[in-house]
Amino acid sequence: MSYLQQILFVIAAVATVWLFTRKAMAIRRNILLGKEENYYDHPADRWRNVFLLALGQKKMFRRPLVALMHFIIYAGFIIINIEVLEIFIDGVAGTHRLFAAPLGSFYIFLINAFEILAIGVLAVCVAFLVRRNIMKLKRFISHDLDGWPRSDANYILITEIILMTLFLTLNASDTLLQARGHGHYAEHVTGNFVISQWIQPLLNGFSDGALVGIERFCWWLHILGIFAFLNYLPYSKHLHILLAFPNAYYTRLLPKGEMRNMPEIQNEVLYAMQPELAPTEAAPPGKFGAKDVMDLSWRNLMDAYSCTECGRCSSACPATQTGKLLSPRKIMMDTRDRLEEVGRNIDANGEFKDDGKSLLHNYITTEELRACTTCNACVEECPVSISPLEIILELRRSLVMEESNAPQEWNGMFSNIENNFAPWKFSPDDRDKWAEELKS
């Protein structure tokens, strides 16, 4: 490789790392705008979740065929990137197939395995494109995905197909040049590989110079495509490829159906029943629930960035399936969109300036929040342990306790609980009268 190519490669690599790091730090800052909560207990259980949910994709295997297809793409993404390491080192050092000589026959085994994975990834991506755009499964044609989100998924699948095709064509042209004994390609003769050998007949008619051009074109486009993909990730739903691991680690370990009580409300009930325990000086009132993203916990905000937009939560949601406005997937997408808007506000002003908007009302409506039955189906279905329900509950608490915004039926129940310590309208002294009537 010429010195000019090395210089260009290093410039591209440095630019890629700088751009990715800048965006990653912005996302980290946005996540930390949320309230602090402790998710550092029981590390053994948390690491178990990482291996089962993020690495092992345990929840995906409820649908074995789709899970297997997804696992092929996932394994291909991780394992084939080992081959990218060689390309990267070759680009910096100006070498060619640096690992071929030290690894010997094991190197040939690895590349053959990568090629089998590559053809598997290519086939699965085509199948997923068909599912999204021809079969049009219900969760993929939802209005939640109108606009960019629908295009985003297609772009990534097409990019994967192109990258795998470039990888196989690169190997086919390289091994042909080896067989012809051309230049430095003859220094490491690997022989043909299991999949790319079938592409060779399409290239055999080209001259050595043309083959070198094809090999270099595929090499450059392959690595630049990966560099571009890396910087595309933070703007895409595919950020879950990276965030699925910390998200699985920091997931709630409490039973899925257990709601987190509010200490302030618990104390109010306690003081009402035992007035002697009430403090002499009332503490200043805090904020109940969440109106904007800054009122949610940092883990809720990481959930929003980790969302895969797969729609399994909405497919399992009884409110969504019965035509209600609520869609748990949209809750997560709206939270992420609002958080990104807040981040741009901070970038422009140095700190957050009130823009007259909030997550509640401007992004997520009252009707959506009231449609939730708190059944936890969305939480149970999510493959990366995201909890739309936590966000819904916090926003609904803000509606009810900050804005007194609740249906009349709820207000009647709240009034009865406050006055009678029960949802019913009659006095606590009269509750046992029904039993006396049984005696007569």
Residue 74 has pLDDT above 90, yes or no: no
Selection from 302, 172, 295 nearest residue 248 by Cα = 302
CA distance 399 to 351: 26
What is residue 24's predicted lDDT score, i.e. its pLDDT?
94
CA distance 264 to 262: 5
pLDDT bracket for residue 285 (50, 70, 90): low
CA distance 304 to 335: 6
Residue 433 has pLDDT above 80, yes or no: no
Share of the chain above pLDDT 90, in %: 38
- Is-contact 189 217, C-beta < 8 A? no
What is residue 280's predicted lDDT score, i.e. its pLDDT?
72
Q: Environment class of residue 271 by beta-carbon count within 10 Å: exposed (0-12), middle (13-18) or buried (19+)? A: middle
The one-letter code for the residue type at 364 is I
Residue 438 has pLDDT above 80, yes or no: no
CB within 8 A of 295, min separation 6: which ones?
Answer: 35, 287, 289, 394, 398
- Is-contact 336 305, C-beta < 8 A? yes
Share of the chain above pLDDT 70, in %: 96
pLDDT bracket for residue 47 (50, 70, 90): very high
- Lowest-confidence region among 220-229, 330-339, 350-359: 220-229
Largest Cα separation within the chain, whole Å, is: 108
Q: What are phi and psi of 35, to 5 degrees?
A: -70, 145
Q: What is the pTM of this model?
A: 0.83
SS (H, E, C) 197-261: HHCHHHHCCCCHHHHHHHHHHHHHHHHHHHHHHHHHHHHCHHHHHHHHHHHHHCCCCCCCCCCCC
pLDDT bracket for residue 145 (50, 70, 90): confident
Residue 191 has pLDDT above 80, yes or no: yes
Residue 152 has pLDDT above 60, yes or no: yes
CA distance 414 to 71: 49
What is residue 282's predicted lDDT score, i.e. its pLDDT?
66
CB within 8 A of 83, min separation 6: which ones?
Answer: 110, 111, 114, 167
Q: Across residues 69-96, what is the average pLDDT?
A: 79
Residues 225-257: tens digit of each pLDDT: 888 988 998 888 888 888 989 998 998 887 767
What is residue 1's predicted lDDT score, i.e. its pLDDT?
54
